[in-house]
A and B are shown apart, each in its own frame.
Chain A
Amino acid sequence: MNNYWLKRLLSSLLVIAVVLSLNFFLFRLMPGDPTSSLLDPRFSPEAKHELLKSYGLDKPLSQQFFIYVKQMLTFKFGISFMSQRPVWQELAERLPNTLLLLFPALLLSAVLGILLGVAAAKGRGGLVEKTVLLSGAISFSFPSFFVQLVLLLLLAHAFPIFPLRGSLSVPPPVGFWNLVTDKIWHMTLPVASLVLLGFGSWALYVRNLMVKALGEDFILLARAKGIRESRILWRHAFRTALPPIVTIFFLSLPGVISGAVITETVFSLHGIGKFLLDAVLGHDYPAAGAAFYLMSLVTVACNLLADVVYTFVDPRISFRRLR
């Protein structure tokens, strides 16, 4: 392993250690405790104490920290305060829906946005660019709950093409392929809504990068050499714009597991976003700690992955030279 990767690995471990510690202390520094949300006059102070005891919060902070670090490092995240079920089980139930919602949405938004951004840059000043800029700005600026509720009202209620809720019909269909089809049918509208909301920022960003790249001297030289316009566009201009696009894409990837609270709520999807929000608001330390820890691991991994991908997309970047 060369020096660069060793340094990157060590800095990543440091980041994880910092996140791990912050996860523990920040939640405990927040006002209130897991019993704060129990506003019930039938619950006496002694009963609240019993509850804190059952959560292990009567132990000294150092002991709690030791237990927490051990749980995180061994990936045994303990029991959720709110549901009294293993945190792993809760996360495992939700992760498939979140991935099915956010990964296709990210991929489709990125692909659509990139294609439209390149097309806008190519047809600069023309109708295509104006259309892309307008649709991109609209997509970028509408609040997600509004777009999603309108889609729900139109395509699930007025014209019931898609289901109104969930990721599965009730009762569920029988047979593997029927289940797969049913899942796709349920996920289409939420994914489409996110693509509609997400492609705009990609399109505007890529268009800006491409406009800049197409104005460079090497493009002028390529044109002077008589290289085909499509080759100039994709092989020369787009390739120079690719590293920041790769960065944005890989930095967006951790968001795929963090969930989308509003989308999950509007479409009644069982995902990580709402779980995380409830965990933070309800002082569910094991659940919130585990979710943030996993997110930090994925973020660090995606950053490392982005570094690797740079070497493929940009020949100017080589780790050998850094050594």
Chain B
Amino acid sequence: MLLAVSLLLPAQGKAAPLDKLRLPNIDELYFLIIKDNDAQLLALQGGQIDLLGDIARFSDIKSLSDDERVNLYLAEGYHAFYLGLNLRKSPWDRTELRQSLWEIVNRKQIVRDVFGGYALPLFSFLPPASPYTLSASAADFDIKAAKERLKQKGWRWSKKGVLICPGEADPLPKMKLLTPTAQVAPTTAEIAERICESMRSLGIPIETEPMDFSMMVARLDRRDFDAYVMAWELSRDPDSLYAFYHSSMDVPGGYNISGIRKPDLDEALESLKYASNEAEARVAAEKVQRLLYKYIPQVPIYSRYHIAALRREWKGAVASLYMTPDNTYSLLSLKHDSKRTFYWCLSEEPRNLNPLSAASAYEWQVLSIIYESLLAVDPFTLKDIPWLAKSWRLDTVTKGGKEKTRITFHIREDVKWQDGSPFSASDVKATIEFLKKFAIPRYFDLVKDVERVEATGNTITVTFSGKSYWYLHQIGGLPILPARVLSSLKDWRNLPEGHIIGTGPFSFSAYKPGEYVKLDKNELYWRKNIP
């Protein structure tokens, strides 16, 4: 089965080089709202939609991989599934026990049995696609080694085979592993059962406790748990490391759920968070991950591939090991012999097409084509590439004895908003200042350290109150809105449809709730001017 996966891994579409992308060949882009997985599959096979992303069910992947009408694409994503432990309590406060756990979960078997091979066994604290991931060289499934380690550290087993902590007389008490119910998350529930089985084989008396997801999150927030399983959608940057493992994040609402508090780890995480350039960030990320392999605050289990299917008659998809063709680059390069209307499936209602408050992935599936940022991500290398900014510079300046990051972006001069008005550095300034002024929750963390924004000609300079390389991605990734739209808003939650104006390759045309969102080709798109 793993062989089948490797056959799918190379991107089938010979990707168009990014610098050749100009105006889209698609005139009309419809996002068709189809909520049911089976109906989505039928629509793709029947030709009612051309592109279906985020295919998760093993049966669907199997069926599409045999279908000659579609190309199936598979990419390493940012998904990561972990076994979490409560380090505040015994026995999870014992490092050797957590190290042994690493070895007793048979990840490869789980991936084979539960996903038919369409997932990656995970041996890292960052998702596989992240350029900062340091994969463990540690052994896979090895129950003998796990038991031996415990023996050497003074652990014993009772007559019933239950572990006894060194220096204690009684075997470990019964424990619970929190999991969502099988009705809501069948694969998670099954994996939780398998993990419990593995833990019991080591002598840990644990059983699953299935519950409603909200209830489970509330228990985790109260830190009222022994162990849990949870899937996360992380990102290219290693920002999850600070959130998951820094002691300052072990607060209500914080994501240090395991409660790890190690001074050396904190120090390494701070070096990562406040690295002044990429080289420093890489060194710090590696140091953090090495410490995590030592402490093992949670156990990585698997990572789901991102899988998408495209009708075969559409050529020129941009796809890579890290990105399936459901991206903006593909929309700029896809071509059909006769059609100029493209149908892309939306699995949920995009209830809010306001970039200031939109939160769901479905809303951003639409908005990310209308709005653009200063920087983009190269789908082949995952490196930053110029987009609305043609170049940038990151400096560390010292003011009042404090080191501060200053980023200077040089904005493209040939960009127009979709309504024909010129795009300028003052739009970027207005966007950053608006987000900061109104403390808009979605962007709060991204702009909270912004101290000053200056726009001069086509140059924008952002000075921060502290020092961090990651400010580049935080500001470089913001969707930029027109200054005059922002100044006309009475309430940021309410963006009238007529004000949905970006610089992207498609402009908003219509939204029929429950049915579709229609976008039209932006004839003014700036990439057409690239020589």
Contacts and interface: CB of A to CB of B under 8 A. Distances in A.
Contacts of A32: 214-215, 217-218, 221
B253 interface: yes
B515 A166 contact: yes
Contact of B516 (A31, A41, A44, A170): A170
A85 B36 contact: no
Contact of B217 (A39, A83, A170, A270): A39
Interface in A18-42: 30-32, 35-42
B222 to A, nearest CB: 9
B514 A268 contact: yes
B151 interface: no
B214 A46 contact: no
Contacts of A82: 351-352, 359
Interface stretch (A48-56, A289-297, A303-311): A48-56
B391 interface: no
B227 to A, nearest CB: 17
Given A42-B239, A164-B42, A266-B36, A170 B515 contact: yes
Interface stretch (B13-21, B275-283, B325-333, B437-445): B437-445
A90 B352 CA distance: 11
A94 interface: yes
A94 B514 contact: yes
B102 interface: no
B515 A168 contact: yes
Interface stretch (B27-35, B259-267, B422-430): B27-35
B513 A93 contact: yes
B274 to A, nearest CB: 15
A153 B253 CA distance: 45
Nearest to B214: A32
A45 B251 contact: yes
B253 A49 contact: yes
Range class of the B interface residue count: 35 or more
Nearest to A264: B35
Contacts of B43: 164-165
A268 B441 contact: no
Nearest to A44: B445
Interface in A151-172: 152-153, 156-157, 160, 164-168, 170-172
Contacts of B516: 166, 170
A85 B445 CA distance: 24
Contact of A153 (B33, B42, B215, B512): B42
Interface string B426-463: 00000000000001111011001000000000000000
B154 interface: no
B38 interface: yes
Nearest to A186: B515
A36 B36 contact: no
B439 A85 contact: no
A168 B46 contact: no
Contacts of B440: 50
B230 A39 contact: yes
B36 A268 contact: yes
Contact of A50 (B30, B215, B441): B441
A3 B46 CA distance: 63
Identify the interface centre among B34, B39, B493: most chain A CB within 10 Å of its CB.
B39
A281 B214 CA distance: 8
A84 B512 CA distance: 17
B161 interface: no
B207 interface: no
A97 interface: yes
25 contacts: A32-B217, A36-B214, A39-B217, A41-B244, A42-B243, A45-B253, A46-B444, A47-B444, A48-B441, A54-B493, A79-B493, A80-B351, A82-B359, A84-B494, A90-B351, A94-B514, A149-B36, A157-B46, A166-B33, A166-B516, A172-B512, A266-B39, A267-B39, A270-B349, A283-B214
Q: Which 6 A-B pairs have the closest CB atoms?
A: A270-B514, A31-B218, A41-B243, A83-B351, A45-B253, A51-B441
Given A38-B359, A42-B243, A152-B39, 13 more contacts: A30-B214, A32-B214, A32-B218, A82-B359, A83-B352, A164-B46, A164-B48, A165-B32, A165-B43, A165-B48, A172-B515, A265-B35, A268-B34
